[in-house]
Amino acid sequence: MAVSRERALTEALVEAADTLVDDFDVIDFLHTLAKRCVQLLGVDAAGLMLADQSGVLHASAASSENARLMELFELQADAGPCLDCYRTATPVVNADLDTNAHHWPQFAEAARAHGFVSVHALPLRLRETVIGALNLFCSGPEPLGEDDVRIGQALADVATIGILAQRGLEQADLIAAQLQTALNSRIAIEQAKGVLAERHAISVDEAFVVLRRHARDNNLHLSDLARAVANGAPLAQISEV
C-alpha cells in the first residue's frame, strides 16, 4: 500500500471516528465517505443508500451526479446490486454488467450507458442491523481485489458503527427515525444544488462543491444551509447569520 493511500485511509478512519462527537452531520459524512471510496479503492464513482422507517432504501449520498442518477434508477427499477446487498446483508463484488444483464436488465443497460462496466455493493451493517448499502461503480474491466474489498467493507462497517453509536439508540424504530431525518435532509440538498447550478450557471456537481465548502467554511450544517438556499437565500447572507 502506497504511503499516500495509507494517509488517505488514516484520514478516512479519523473522519469516521468524528461521528462520535455531538452535533454530527450525517449527510456530510456520507458524502465524504463516498469520495474516500473513490480515492482509496480505485473505483470511478460511489454512492450510499440508507433505509427509512419502513426499510425502503433511498439514495443518500454520491461522489458524482452520475452515481446519484444510477442509484435513483436502481431504486426506480427495484433491482440492482445495492438492493440485493441490502436485502441479503451480503456483499456483491465484481458484478460484470454484461454477465448480469439478465439479472438486472434495466439497471445494467443504464449503467453501461453511463460508461460503467462493473459494480460492487457492500452492506452498511452492525451484526444483525443493516441500515443501507454502499455502491461502487467501475468504468474499467479491472476487478476489485481482496484488499480493496476489505478496506471498502471496513469503511462501511465503521460508518455504520459511528452512525448508530452517535445516537446512543438501541431500539430499531428509534434508529430508523433518526435515519429518516437524514433522508429528508437529502431532498433539501438536491433542491439547493439545482438552485445554485441555475443561479451561477454551473454543473450540479460543481454546485454541490460550492454548497459543501460554504457549509464547512462557516461551520454550518449542510442540511440547514441547503434548506436556506432552496428557499432563495444567497450564500453570503447565510454566512452572516
Which backbone phi and psi does 131 adopt, to 5 degrees? Answer: -110, 0
Strand runs (DSSP E) across 127-203, as ranges? 129-138
Query: pLDDT means per 10 residues in the chain (241 residues)?
Result: 61 61 68 86 90 81 88 89 93 91 90 92 88 92 87 86 62 57 74 87 86 84 83 65 35
Number of domains in the chain: 2
Asked which of 168, 194, 226 is the last residue of a domain, the reply is 168
Residue owning grid cell 433505509: 51
* pLDDT tens by residue, 69-121: 898 889 888 999 999 999 999 999 999 999 888 989 999 999 999 999 999 99
Asked which of 137, 168, 199 is the last residue of a domain, the reply is 168
Regarding whether 208 and 164 lie in a shared domain, the answer is: no
Print the domain residue range for 192: 186-240
Considering the domain boundaries, does residue 180 fall inside one?
no
Considering the domain boundaries, does residue 174 fall inside one?
no
Total residue length of the chain: 241
Regarding whether 91 and 45 lie in a shared domain, the answer is: yes
Regarding whether 202 and 162 lie in a shared domain, the answer is: no
pTM above 0.75, yes or no: no
Considering the domain boundaries, does residue 52 fall inside one?
yes
Considering the domain boundaries, does residue 142 fall inside one?
yes
Asked which of 168, 203, 229 is the last residue of a domain, the reply is 168
